[in-house]
Amino acid sequence: MEYVVGMAAEREKPLILLGLGGVGRALLSQIVEQRSLHREKYGLRIDFLALCDSSGAVSAPKGGFTDEMLYGILQHKEEGGGLVSHPLGQAYRSPEAVVKELGGPGTVVVDCTASDETAGALLLALERGYQVVLANKKPLTVVQDVYDGISRSAGDARWETTVGAGLPVIATLNRMVSSGDEIERIAGSFSGTLGYLMTGLEEGRSYSETVAEAYRLGYTEPDPRDDLGGVDVARKALILARRIGWRMEMDQVEISGLYPERMAGLSVDGFLAELPSLDEEYGAQVASAAAEGKVLRYAATLSEGACSVGPTAVAKDSPLGRLSGTDNLVELYSRWYNPNPLVIQGRGAGVEATAAGVLSDIVELHFSRGSR
Catalytic residue (one of 13, 77, 138, 236): 236
The crossing angle, in degrees rounded to 10, of helices 95-102 and 119-127 is 20
Task: Using alpha carbons only, give the angle 288, 218, 206 rounded to the nearest 5 degrees.
Answer: 25
Partners of 14 in the β-ladder: 47
- Let me know: does 88 contact 61? Beta carbons within 8 Å: yes
Would you give the end-to-end CA distance of the chain in angstroms? Answer: 14
Alpha carbons 12 and 304: distance in angstroms, whole number: 42
Q: 239 and 254 in contact (C-beta within 8 Å)?
A: no
Annotated binding site for NADPH: 113, 137
Relative orientation angle of helices 207-216 and 192-202, to the nearest 10 degrees: 140
Residue 13 among the catalytic residues: no
Please report, in range form, the residues annotated as the binding site.
Answer: 19-24, 113, 137, 221
Residue 97 belongs to what H/E stretch? Answer: helix 95-102
Question: Which amino acids are annotated as binding site for NADP(+), given as ranges?
Answer: 19-24
Residue 311's region, left for phi above 0, alpha for psi from -120 to 50, else beta, is beta
d(CA 69, CA 50): 12
Q: Residue 113 and residue 19: Cα distance in Å, rounded? A: 4
188 phi and psi angles, rounded to 5 deg: -175, 165
Our measurement of the distance from residue 129's CA atom to the centroid of its chain's CA atoms, rounded to an integer in Å, reads 24
Query: Which residues are the active-site residues?
Result: 236
